[in-house]
Amino acid sequence: MRLTDRDEEFRAFYFSHAPRLRGIALLMTGDPSRAEELAQEALLKAYRAWPRIRRDDPGPYIRSTLVNLCRNDYRRRLLERKRAAHAPEAVGADDAKVVEAMRVADALRALPPIRKAVIVLRYYEDLPEAEIARILDRPLNTVKSDIRRALQTLRLLLQEGAANR
């Protein structure tokens, strides 16, 4: 298909999805500039794959791609953090929503990336469990236990946080 035709179709997809993807990546990484890069990379991949994915709903494809990118990024960061203690950047985020997302991301830091992805898709994206299982290619029961355990971890942390105060 011609690039101009592809653009026409992809344009709508871009406008409806770009902000959502940034939101997911921000919750996964806690870093606005990296979230922007990862979302952009996922969109570029979707653009290249467009002739193949356009017929079905491209939403799950791009979410799956984005989550994989975030997990790879996490792995890379794991190394960097080991090399030099890396303080989370306090970027001058003036948007209240971004600040709140960064705070939530901070609370999610105790979770392994895959569980992070599961609960971001569940609560931020408001997706049903079956859909999450499909996106992450994970058994439905595992997704259910992921959610349960992730919430347990978060509750525990909240209590600890309260107790320390």
Partner 1 sequence: MTPEDRMRKLGSTREGTPSEAEWTAFAAKAHLSVTRRRMAAAIGGLVTCLVVVAGAYAVTGNPVGDQQSPGPAGSPTQTASPSPDAPSTEAEPSPESDPTVAVQQWFFQGEQMTVFYEEVPQTETPATMAMRYLLAGQPQSAGAQTYIPNGVDLLDLSIKDGIATVDLSSEFEEANLGSSFAGAHIAQVTYTLTQYPTVDGVIFEIEGERVGTKDRPFGSHGLVMEKPQTRAEWDSLLAPIVVESPYPGQTVDWTFDLFGIANVYEATVSWTISDAEGNIVKEGFSTATCGSGCWGTFEDRISIERQVDTELVLEVFQASAEDGSPMSVVQIPLNFVE
Which residues are near partner 1 by CB under 8 A?
1-3, 7, 10-11, 14-15, 18-20, 22-23, 27, 40, 43-49, 51-52, 61, 64-65, 68, 71-72, 74-76, 78-79, 81-82, 97, 100-101, 103-104, 107-108, 112-114, 119-120, 122-126, 137, 142, 151, 154-155, 158
Q: For the CB of residue 107, give the shortest distance to partner 1 in the complex, in Å.
A: 5
Q: How far lies 148's CA from each of 17, 140, 155, in Å?
A: 28, 13, 11
Q: What's phi and psi for 88, nearest 5 deg?
A: -60, 130
Q: For the CB of residue 163, give the shortest distance to partner 1 in the complex, in Å.
A: 16
Maximum Cα interatomic distance, the chain, rounded to a whole number of Å: 61
Q: For the CB of residue 154, give the shortest distance to partner 1 in the complex, in Å.
A: 5
Separation of alpha carbons 122 and 102, rounded Å: 18
Separation of alpha carbons 66 and 63, rounded Å: 5
Q: How far lies 79's CA from each of 34, 83, 121, in Å?
A: 16, 6, 26
Nearer to partner 1, 48 or 89 (CB): 48
Nearer to partner 1, 64 or 144 (CB): 64
Q: For the CB of residue 90, give the shortest distance to partner 1 in the complex, in Å.
A: 20
